[in-house]
């Protein structure tokens, strides 16, 4: 793999680059976000590994700029900020994975391999659609029948997950784990509230209902018969 490591800490950068090269990878290094963005725009990399807190330009700003420029290179964000909200923010910025410091180097290698496998199979897939409902995964725009629909970040993640599982029944547990990153039941109506809001935006004022509640099972996004 040809990798770009964007890390300002001298010791951390040396450790990462040395380990990745010893693992057989070709590695370039940038010491700040501005240089990292320039290198990522000018060169083709298999994966970019970027620290979140960087001088000149922070890591998430680099990712957002790359995605706005239609650069599809997989990005793994490294950060000491490990709360759920921090990880969600990193993924919503356009990164493909988020690894919390400190981490095991073997896990980093495994995640890089997973990103490469995913990239090989999904590079060309930048949009999802069900009936006349479409979402653009790069611009994060949602349209139904050509009409732009404004969604909040969590609503977008919820819709994206439902669309990736279109035609399948999605349980509350699946939504809690994959959209909210909860591995327990918070005993709140958070899912009901967001499903109601999402349904109001993508189904209200349209003749056909796409988002359906499957009583006793969960939810299903599917085209009308």
Q: For the chain, what percent of residues have pLDDT higher than 90?
A: 57
Residues 89 and 131 in one domain: no
Residues 44 and 141 in one domain: no
Non-local (6+) Cβ contacts of 104 within 8 A are none
* Region for residue 216 given its phi and psi (left: phi exceeds 0; alpha: psi -120 to 50; beta: otherwise): left
As for how many domains the chain has, the answer is: 2
Residues 199 and 216 in one domain: yes
Residue ending a domain, among 85, 103, 122, is: 122
Rg (CA), the chain: 19
Residues 116 and 190 in one domain: no
Global pTM? 0.54
Using 50, 70 and 90 to split pLDDT, how confident is the model at 119? low
- Angle among Cα 13, 104, 183 to the nearest 5 degrees reads 125
8 A C-beta contact, residue 7 and residue 18: no
Rounded Cα distance, 173 and 78, in Å? 27
Residues 93 and 149 in one domain: no
Residues 80 and 161 in one domain: no
Residue ending a domain, among 70, 90, 122, is: 122
Query: Is residue 6's pLDDT more than 90?
Result: yes
Strand partners, 134: 129, 143
- The pLDDT assigned to 148 comes to 95
8 A C-beta contact, residue 74 and residue 47: yes
Using 50, 70 and 90 to split pLDDT, how confident is the model at 58? very high
Structure tokens at 42: 């000018």
- The pLDDT assigned to 123 comes to 46
Residues 140 and 192 in one domain: yes
Query: Is residue 1's pLDDT more than 80?
Result: no
8 A C-beta contact, residue 116 and residue 1: yes
Write the CATH number for 61: 3.40.50.2300
| Structural domain that includes position 207 | 127-221
CA nearest 112: which of 37, 120, 12? 120
8 A C-beta contact, residue 114 and residue 1: no
Write the CATH number for 138: 1.10.10.10
DSSP code for 95? -
pLDDT (tens digit, 9 = 90+) per residue, 46-57? 899 999 999 999
Rounded Cα distance, 215 and 172, in Å? 12
pLDDT (tens digit, 9 = 90+) per residue, 143-195? 999 999 999 988 998 998 899 888 889 898 888 887 887 777 778 899 999 99
Residues 111 and 166 in one domain: no
Residues 92 and 180 in one domain: no
Residues 7 and 106 in one domain: yes
Mean pLDDT over each residue of the chain, to the nearest integer:
89
Rounded Cα distance, 49 and 70, in Å? 18
Query: Is residue 124's pLDDT more than 70?
Result: no
Rounded Cα distance, 194 and 182, in Å? 15
Residue ending a domain, among 107, 122, 137, is: 122
Residues 28 and 74 in one domain: yes
Residues 118 and 151 in one domain: no
Instruction: Kindly report the number of other CB atoms within 10 A of residue 23's CB atom.
Output: 15
- Sign of the dihedral through C-alpha 63, 65, 66, 67: positive
Using 50, 70 and 90 to split pLDDT, how confident is the model at 125? low
Rounded Cα distance, 79 and 4, in Å? 16
């Amino acid at each position: 793999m040809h990798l770009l490591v964007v890390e300002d800490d001298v010791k951390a950068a040396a450790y990462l680059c040395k380990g990745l090269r010893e693992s057989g990878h070709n590695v370039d290094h940038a010491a700040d976000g501005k240089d990292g963005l320039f290198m990522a725009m000018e060169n083709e990399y298999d994966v970019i590994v970027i620290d979140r807190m960087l001088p000149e330009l922070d890591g998430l700003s680099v990712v957002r700029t790359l995605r706005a420029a239609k650069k599809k290179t997989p990005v793994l964000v490294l950060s000491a900020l490990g709360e759920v909200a921090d990880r969600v923010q990193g993924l919503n910025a356009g990164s493909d994975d988020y690894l919390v410091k400190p981490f095991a180097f073997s896990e980093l290698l495994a995640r890089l391999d997973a990103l490469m496998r995913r990239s090989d199979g999904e590079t060309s897939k930048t949009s999802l659609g069900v009936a006349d409902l479409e979402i653009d995964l790069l611009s994060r725009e949602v349209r139904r029948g050509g009409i732009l629909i404004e969604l909040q970040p969590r609503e977008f993640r919820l819709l994206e997950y439902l669309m990736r599982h279109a035609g399948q029944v999605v349980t509350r547990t699946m939504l809690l784990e994959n959209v909210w990153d909860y591995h327990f039941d918070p005993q709140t109506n958070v899912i009901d509230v967001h499903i109601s809001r999402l349904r109001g935006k993508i189904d209200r004022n349209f003749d056909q209902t796409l988002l359906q509640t499957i009583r006793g099972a969960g939810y299903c996004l599917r085209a009308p018969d």
